[in-house]
Structure 1
Amino acid sequence: MHQGFHRYVYFGGGLAITLLLAVAAKYLAVLPVLSIMGQLVLAILLGTALRAVVTIPEQAMPGISFSGKRLLRAGIILLGLRLNLGDIVQAGPKVLAIAAINLVFTLFTVYGLSRWLRIERRLGLLTACGTAICGAAAVAAIAPQIKAADHETAVSAAVVAVLGTVFTLVYTILYPYMGLSATGYGILAGSTLHEVAHVIAAAAPAGQQGADLAILVKLTRVVMLVPVALILGLLETRRERKVQRKLATAEHPWNEGGRQRQKLPVPWFIGGFLLMSGINTLGLIPPSVAAELITLAYLLLAMAMAALGLGIRLRTFARMGVRPIIAGFAGSILLTVLGFGLVHWFGLS
């Protein structure tokens, strides 16, 4: 009885730590410079910093793990309320094409560079997805699909955050010299920058029209998180099946032809994300309620990011993070060049 009570107290303590870090990140994200990084990224950094200076009780880890896994999925589901699928369709085929081309190009480029640099497969995939789709949120959503370790998730999310912040500052400085209209710059920022926070910050100099279009294009990329997550989940399942068959064949050569039926991965949280998008598109929830739920979504995601940060040591990031930064940086430069070219090519400059 006593042990059970203490277990619940420590579990609640672990949850409370991630909640406090998430709330701290929310308020820090209001500050001028830190707003570029956003709540999710700051939550990871706060978690990593706390882990570096304080010893977290082992008994509190189940509560922290709950934030990193269960609350993560709940946050992803609620994040679907950000999307109005009708607005994305109205953006027009050219904008959709630019977003899709940039996304596919970045996925293959960053992952290819990662493999060339001999980065671990899952870490390379997460870095590619974070760069191509929507930063830390994409990393968090893809990680369960490819069964990535917590330290891989945290490192790739931090890498994408660093790169996105750097490119946000570069875009803001170069905007007056790009020769793009407000709408053209909005499309460029929305189709190439990493986090939603990065897009909002970088598009601000283009005024309300440019900023609104930038966010719309960015959310078009967020929608593409769904098919990418499904495809990667299927590929991971097929890969595991091949490995299992090889192991089974090595142990029992006469059983080579036998095949086990396995269920396809059904990412229920991705289905929930789509469901929430549909509910928002149909206007079934009042805008004020949807806004509150989106705030809750970011709080839950920030708690999950704080949990990831609490699981990573600075030495791990120093050891694992350098090559992903190189791959992501090179891929981001190529993405910017491609995005700039596509805006001109489609006549949207």
Structure 2
Amino acid sequence: MNRNTFIKNGRFLAYTGGLAFTFAVAIGGYLLASLSIFQMIGPLACALLIAIIYRNYIGYPTQFKPGIKFASTFLLRGAIILYGLQLQIDQIFAVGIGIFFKDALVIILSITCMLLIGKWLKADLAILLLLGVGTGVCGAAAIGAVSPILKSKEEDIAISVGIIALIGSILSIAYPFLQSILDLSPEEYGIWSGMSLHEIAHVTLAAMPAGQEALSLAIIAKLGRVLWLIPLSCLFVLFMKKKEKQETSTVIKFPWFLVGFLLMSIFNSYILERYVYIPNAIVSTIPTLTTFLLTMAMVGLGLNVNIKTLCLKSARPLIAIIITSLLLSTITLVMI
């Protein structure tokens, strides 16, 4: 076997091994969720818990990192696109343009609170800004989008992503219990989840136990925040140009999976059943496939949570995001 073939085979095994690993843990999440004590939080949260425990007691399976990263990014986006087939476009219009501007307020509040609280705690400003963007927009994806613009250090990026994953995971598991305590309707709970939680995966994890309607509204509310990533990134580019007084070649990545989500919703609303026939056996499996892909993505998210490292190196930013996240949850609850 020549060197190139060996490298290709190594990459192939890293991807397939990572996908197989996330697949196996996802199955474990479903099995755990079948127990009465875990039924309320569902398979996504159970798979996330298994992944976090695995990472912190056994370690990260580094040999499978490419496949795990693929699961936590591309499978997640693919699942969101597929979810469009379960959503009528009329639902998006029914929520209205108002939610889009409320999402903008959420982002402003998140960044402002994070910086003010962090300054009071004397925490690192670079990490605080990344955490503010991640909390307000869409977690690790937003951090990844703005970090090249802000020229963030790799260590700061890693710490920020880890903190977002940890706090978002804790809140997304706690939210289903809060729904019954706060006596929220599925509609109110869905919008609240979408407006306040960090990652799309966290929103899905929290909203799914409340039913299809809550999940639909949660994703719509969350995607409004994701769409603000483009103008926010443009503002950061202008800020950096003014700060450094030079041109920047940073390319802003558009979240194309949002287009896929909207196209699938349009297809489901106006084309499917009217002009295209798809057997019910296939249509009925799409929600199950979507949920399972999300569960695999949740495994990748959980494996990024290194609790020991976060506690040792980022105590002050961690306190700042906890306070900010709790404030955000409270404010958005009043807003709905």
TM-score by length of 2: 0.72
Q: Counterpart amino acid of 2:167?
A: V
Q: Between Structure 1 and Structure 2, how many residues are aligned?
A: 299
- CA spacing shift, 1:164–1:229, aligned 2, 3 Å: closer
Aligned to 2:304: 311
| Aligned-partner Cα distance in 1 for 2:51–2:220 | 28
Contact kept in structure 2, 1:127 and 1:157, CA below 8 Å: no
1:269 aligns with 2:257: yes
Q: What fraction of aligned residue pairs are identical, expressed as a percent?
A: 26
**Equivalent residue for 1:114?**
114
2-structure distance, mates of 1:302, 1:140: 17
Give me the whole-angstrom Cα distance separating, in 2, the residues matched to 1:74 and 1:317: 30
What is the identity, as a one-letter code, of the residue corresponding to 2:307? L
338 and 234 in structure 1: CA distance in 2 versus 1, 3 angstrom threshold:
closer
Greater Rg over alpha carbons, structure: 1
Alpha-carbon shift at residue 30 of structure 1 (Å):
4.0
Inter-partner Cα distance in structure 1 for 2:188 and 2:89 = 20
How far apart, in 2, do the equivalents of 1:147 and 1:291 lie? 40
When residues 200 and 261 of structure 1 are mapped into structure 2, their CA distance, relative to the original with a 3 A threshold, is closer
Structure 2 residues without counterparts, runs of 5 or longer: 119-126, 149-156, 198-202, 273-277
Match of 1:48 in 2: 52
Residue 177 of structure 2: which of 156, 166, 169 is its match?
A: 169
Cα distance change on mapping 1:115 and 1:45 into 2, 3 Å: farther
The DSSP-based 3-state class of the residue aligned with 1:265 is coil
Per the alignment, residue 335 of structure 2 pairs with 338
1:81 aligns with 2:69: no
Does structure 2 retain, via aligned residues, the 8 Å contact 1:75–1:300? yes
Mapped contact 1:102–1:192 kept (Cα < 8 A): no
**Aligned: 1:190 with 2:187:** no
Cα distance, 1:263 vs. partner?
5.8
- Structure-2 separation of matches of 1:27 and 1:120: 38
Change (3 A) 1:99 1:236: closer
Evaluate the alpha carbon distance shift between residue 152 and residue 43 of structure 1 in structure 2; reply closer, same or farther with a 3 A threshold.
farther
Cα distance in 1 for partners of 2:109, 2:235 equals 23
Give the C-alpha shift of residue 306 in structure 1: 1.4
Does residue 1:65 correspond to 2:69, yes or no? yes
Query: 1:239-296 CA deviation, whole Å, 9 max, x = no partner?
Result: 246536754x4xxxxxx5xx56776533222211211111222252566534422322
Query: Could you tell me how far apart the structure 1 residues matched to 2:14 and 2:190 are?
Result: 42
Change (3 A) 1:164 1:18: closer
Q: Is the 8 A contact 1:25 1:42 kept in 2?
A: yes
Report the CA distance between 1:222 and its aligned residue.
Answer: 1.9
Could you say which residue in structure 2 is the equivalent of 1:132? none
Indicate conservation of the 8 Å contact 2:233/2:252, yes or no.
no
For 1:1-349, list aligned pairs within 5 A: 1=1, 3-4=6-7, 5-89=9-93, 91=94, 96=96, 99=99, 103-118=103-118, 120-129=128-137, 139=139, 142=142, 144-146=144-146, 149=157, 152-175=160-183, 185-193=185-193, 195-196=203-204, 198-199=206-207, 201=209, 215-216=212-213, 218-240=215-237, 242-243=239-240, 246-247=243-244, 249=245, 259=247, 265-284=253-272, 288-318=281-311, 319=314, 321-339=318-336
Q: Report the aligned-residue RMSD.
A: 3.5
Residues 18, 67 of structure 2: 8 Å contact kept: yes
**1: distance between equivalents of 2:111 and 2:190?**
21
Superposed CA deviations along residues 46-87 of structure 1, whole A, max 9, x for unmatched, are 222112222445332222222233323322322222321124
Matched position secondary structure for 2:285 = helix
Distance in 2 (CA, whole Å) between partners of 1:39 and 1:158 is 18
Q: Is the 8 A contact 2:88 2:269 kept in 1?
A: yes
One-letter code aligned to 2:329? S
Change (3 A) 1:233 1:311: same
Please tell me the residue identity of whatever aligns with 1:315: K
Distance 1:159 1:229 in 2: 19
Distance 1:302 1:150 in 2: 23
Relative distance call for 1:165 and 1:68 in structure 2 (3 A) is: closer
Structure-1-length-normalised TM-score: 0.70
Are residues 146 and 221 of structure 1, via their aligned partners in 2, closer, same or farther at CA, if it must alter by over 3 Å?
farther
